Amino acid sequence: MNRQTYAEGIAEQEAIDYINSVYEKVKQRDPHETEFLQATKILFDSLIPVFVKNRTYIEHNILERIIEPERVISFRVPWVDDEGNVQVNRGYRVQFNSALGPYKGGIRFHPTVNLSVMKFLALTQIFKNSLTGQPIGGGKGGADFDPKGKSDQEIMRFCQSFMTELYRHIGPDIDVPAGDIGVGKREIGYMFGQYKRLRGAYEAGVLTGKGIHYGGSLGRTEATGYGTIYFVEEMLKEKRTTIKNKTVITSGSGNVAIHAMEKAIQLGARVVACSDSNGYIYDKNGLSLQTIKRIKIDEGGRIKEYLNYHPEAEYFDDAKQIWSVPADIALPCATQNEIDLEAANMLIENNVKVVVEGANMPCTREAIDVFIENGVLFGPAQAANAGGVAVSALEMAQNSARLKWTFEEVDKQLKNIMQTIYRNVVNAANEYGHPGNLVVGANIAGFTKVADTMIEQGVV
Ligand code: NDP
């Protein structure tokens, strides 16, 4: 073994030992935070090449600093339902990292929300936000509240109570929440109204995803889904092909899924299946997006109602089986851990060529590994679904300048941002010796900028 290889071996061992020791500490501190530990492990494993090359990160103990949230807020959300009963939910805001700018990340209302889910989402948000090139830190919030089946009045009362505590922790230069699962324009509107009332000031930049008439950006609703498809297009360019005439399956039928389907169809793809948490619909000739929008957006219905309008389609009562549908491109756009090893193997058996994450962490670690081993092009969430938060940052910029850009202007910037993200991710993967591995590339490109900035800002 020559001297250089020997030195590299030592550096690698030192990096692995350091990363493992920090991971063990995280595990000991929060052993029950399954999702957070899962996201931490995926992140840490992909950072080994960074720590081999940059000993200075070890000297600054950057990993242990980065993995501990700057602040975690947990609070009671009491509200009164339509029958006059007092209900209590638990609210959270995880303000994870403010090296690059005010904390930024969505609010999720879903019964599965807990601290582990909030922390994993906030952690991945840091590096996603860094990748966008916009001046925003990372955070996430939410409540274990189930909006399903609630009346509009109940939703309003809940949002107002949630904001009654949250307002003291946020602000246009402090922390800027947005929507996520269960939180759309309506909820953002109710929360903004309450914030305005409590603060006694019109601070448009405190929330993003707002309505168009009070500071919302054109193109924000579409941004995550459209951005995901712009990212897919960049991946396909590398293989000298496009999305045109490709068969696509998309899980979910919410904001991200609908707009990913919309852009894919506009670019000539055939979307044959989508789902909700009850089941999935399939039509080999292509689904009608107009009908899906009518059911899910206008009527708030269930995806199986699609068959009322298109009896030629099929409905299957098990959402997870959507991954058994043959397709060139699979876009998990619903929720975390929806593609496990079994689902990944179904996709591979059916010759899937591209899997891109529209949702946050929809693929388990094992699923990602088999995609990469089998040569499936894999686009990780941190990069592929960053379009939503990127346009949120554009919304903040418009609010600060009291300006309003056209849809075309925003969409053009979104496309540029997605192309830049793709290039930066590919370059980082190449530079650190993992060509083609976009998971490693995205984590490294997102991480190094945050880590370098934290070092510049001192131990704070
Ligand atoms: P929505 O609430 O608008 O939609 C979620 C969709 O997923 C619904 O159709 C829901 O169905 C479905 N769903 C939930 N669980 C399952 C399941 N187990 N199997 C199949 N379908 C399921 O949320 P968004 O579209 O906004 O968010 C989706 C994902 O994208 C989340 O991971 C979110 O964090 C991520 N994301 C969202 C961004 C945004 O801008 N909105 C930005 C970046 C990431 P049902 O109606 O039955 O609940």
Residue 456 covered by a domain = no
- In tens, the pLDDT along 238-265 reads 999 999 999 999 999 999 999 999 999 9
- In tens, the pLDDT along 17-73 reads 999 999 999 999 999 999 999 999 999 999 999 999 999 999 999 999 999 999 999
Q: Whose CA is nearest to atom 33 of ligand 1?
A: 359
Residue 160 to residues 106, 127, 168, 314: CA-CA distances in angstroms?
17, 30, 13, 41
- Give 324 Cα–ligand 1 centroid separation in angstroms: 20
Residue 416 covered by a domain = no
Which residues surround ligand 1 with Cβ inside 6 Å?
Answer: 179-182, 224, 251-257, 275-278, 319, 333-335, 338, 358-360, 385, 388
- Type of residue numbered 281: I
Q: Are residues 380 and 267 in the same domain?
A: yes
Using the 8-state DSSP alphabet, how is residue 203 labeled?
-
Q: Are residues 301 and 377 in the same domain?
A: yes
Q: Are residues 191 and 256 in the same domain?
A: no
Q: Are residues 83 and 63 in the same domain?
A: no
Residue 303 covered by a domain = yes
Round to whole Å and give the CA distance between 267 and 107: 31
Using the predicted structure, report yes or no on whether residue 7 has a pLDDT greater than 80: no
Catalytic annotation, pick one of 140, 210, 296, 353:
140
Q: Report pLDDT for 97.
A: 98
Residue of 107, 181, 224, 382 to test ligand 1 pocket, by largest number of atoms within 8 Å of CB: 181
Q: Are residues 83 and 125 in the same domain?
A: yes
Residues of the chain with pLDDT > 70: what percent?
99
Using the predicted structure, report yes or no on whether residue 2 has a pLDDT greater than 90: no
Round to whole Å and give the CA distance between 231 and 59: 36
Q: Report pLDDT for 8.
A: 73
Using the predicted structure, report yes or no on whether residue 1 has a pLDDT greater than 60: no
What confidence tier does 294 reach under pLDDT thresholds 50, 70, 90?
very high
Looking at the structure of the chain, the number of domains it has is 3
Residue 94 covered by a domain = yes
- In tens, the pLDDT along 206-223 reads 999 999 999 999 999 999
CATH code: domain of residue 109: 3.40.50.10860
Burial label for 431, CB within 10 Å (0-12, 13-18, 19+), is middle
Residue 321 covered by a domain = yes
Q: Where are the alpha helices (DSSP H) in 150-212?
A: 152-166, 185-199
CATH code: domain of residue 258: 3.40.50.720
Round to whole Å and give the CA distance between 206 and 224: 20
Residue 316 covered by a domain = yes
Residue 131 covered by a domain = yes
Q: Which atom of ligand 1 is nearest to the CA of 386?
A: 43
Q: What is the dihedral of CA 308, 185, 420, 434, to 10 degrees?
A: -70
Where a domain ends, among 51, 67, 83?
67
- In tens, the pLDDT along 128-143 reads 999 999 999 999 999 9
Q: Are residues 33 and 172 in the same domain?
A: no
Where a domain ends, among 337, 368, 384?
384
Round to whole Å and give the CA distance between 414 and 219: 9
Q: What is the DSSP string of 361-372?
A: S-B-HHHHHHHH
Q: Are residues 159 and 242 in the same domain?
A: no
Query: Which residues form the domain of 39?
Result: 3-67
Residue 430 covered by a domain = no
Q: Report pLDDT for 10.
A: 76
Q: Are residues 157 and 249 in the same domain?
A: no
Q: Report pLDDT for 174.
A: 98
Where a domain ends, among 340, 358, 384?
384
Beginning with the edge strand found earlier in the chain, give each strand of the sheet holding 103-109 in spatial order: 71-80, 86-97, 138-143, 103-109, 175-178
Residue of 110, 131, 256, 356 to test ligand 1 pocket, by largest number of atoms within 8 Å of CB: 256
* Catalytic-residue membership of 140: yes
Q: Which atom of ligand 1 is nearest to the CA of 258?
A: 25
Using the predicted structure, report yes or no on whether residue 190 has a pLDDT greater than 60: yes
Q: Are residues 122 and 21 in the same domain?
A: no
Q: Are residues 200 and 145 in the same domain?
A: yes
Q: Whose CA is nearest to atom 5 of ligand 1?
A: 254
Q: Report pLDDT for 21.
A: 98
Mean pLDDT calculated for residue range 347-372: 97
Extended strands (E) in 348-420: 354-356, 377-379
Mean per-residue pLDDT of the chain: 96
Q: Whose CA is nearest to atom 46 of ligand 1?
A: 276
Residue 292 to residues 153, 259, 287, 289: CA-CA distances in angstroms?
26, 11, 8, 5
Q: Are residues 172 and 229 in the same domain?
A: no
252: left (phi over 0), alpha (psi -120 to 50) or beta: left
Q: Report pLDDT for 4.
A: 62
Q: Report pLDDT for 193.
A: 98
Q: Whose CA is nearest to atom 16 of ligand 1?
A: 277
Q: What is the DSSP string of 93-150?
A: EEEEE-SSSSEEEEEEE-TT--HHHHHHHHHHHHHHHHHTTSS--EEEEEES---TT-
- Give 337 Cα–ligand 1 centroid separation in angstroms: 12
Q: Are residues 130 and 24 in the same domain?
A: no
- Give 338 Cα–ligand 1 centroid separation in angstroms: 11
Residue of 277, 293, 331, 395 to test ligand 1 pocket, by largest number of atoms within 8 Å of CB: 277
The tally of CA atoms less than 13 A away on the side-chain side of residue 239 is 13
Q: What is the pTM of this model?
A: 0.95
- Give 289 Cα–ligand 1 centroid separation in angstroms: 17
